[in-house]
């Protein structure tokens, strides 16, 4: 697959794929003219990269941990890194959940307040 195909399939820009290669996250085979060609699983790999970025990992962390995500083989250090990130993500989920719930409370309070004001207006208009 050429770079545009992979980019379209993964929903990112060609620029991103070149950036990933620069960072050591993604490899390609070059044709004689220098054009990049990717294996089929590159698309899935890119999706992993995006997911890990979205989870707050740095490109450095992704570069270190992505190999064992694909190969299933991990050194002790890699396993430790994976677990650390997993824990971080878990904490993040809890924080977000807390924020969401507090936001729900705010929304509910604002709705209540709106209804109160509507009731006030209704009462004053009927008075």
Cβ neighbors of 97 (< 8 A, separation 6 or more) are none
Residues 23-82 that bind a copy of itself (CB under 8 A): 51-52, 54-55, 68-69, 72-74, 78-79, 82
Q: Which does 118 bind (CB under 5 to 8 A by kind): a copy of itself, DNA, none?
A: none
Q: Does 72 bind DNA (CB under 7 A)?
A: no
- The span of 8-16, 67-75, 81-89, 106-114 binding DNA (CB under 7 A) equals 8-16
DSSP 34: S
Q: Retrieve residue 83's tokens.
A: 């677990």
Question: Is the CB of residue 100 less than 8 Å from the CB of residue 92?
Answer: no
3-state secondary structure of 11: coil
CB 49 within 8 A of CB 13: no
At its nearest, how many Å lie between a copy of itself and the CB of residue 22? 24
Distance CA 60, CA 3 (A): 22
Could you list the residues that contact a copy of itself (CB under 8 A)?
Answer: 51-52, 54-55, 68-69, 72-74, 78-79, 82-83, 85-86, 89-90, 92-93, 95-100, 102-104, 106-107, 109-111, 113-114
């Amino acid at each position: 697959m050429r770079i545009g195909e992979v980019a379209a399939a993964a929903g990112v820009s060609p620029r991103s794929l070149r950036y990933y290669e620069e960072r050591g996250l993604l490899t390609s085979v070059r044709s004689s003219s220098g054009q990049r060609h990717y294996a089929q699983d590159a698309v899935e790999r890119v999706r992993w990269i995006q997911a890990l970025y979205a989870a707050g990992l740095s490109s450095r962390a992704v570069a270190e941990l992505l190999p064992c995500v694909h190969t299933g083989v991990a050194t002790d250090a890699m396993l430790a890194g994976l677990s650390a990130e997993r824990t971080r993500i878990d904490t993040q989920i809890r924080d977000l959940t807390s924020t969401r719930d507090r936001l729900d409370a705010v929304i509910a309070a604002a709705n209540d307040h709106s209804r109160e004001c509507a009731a006030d207006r209704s009462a004053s208009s009927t008075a």
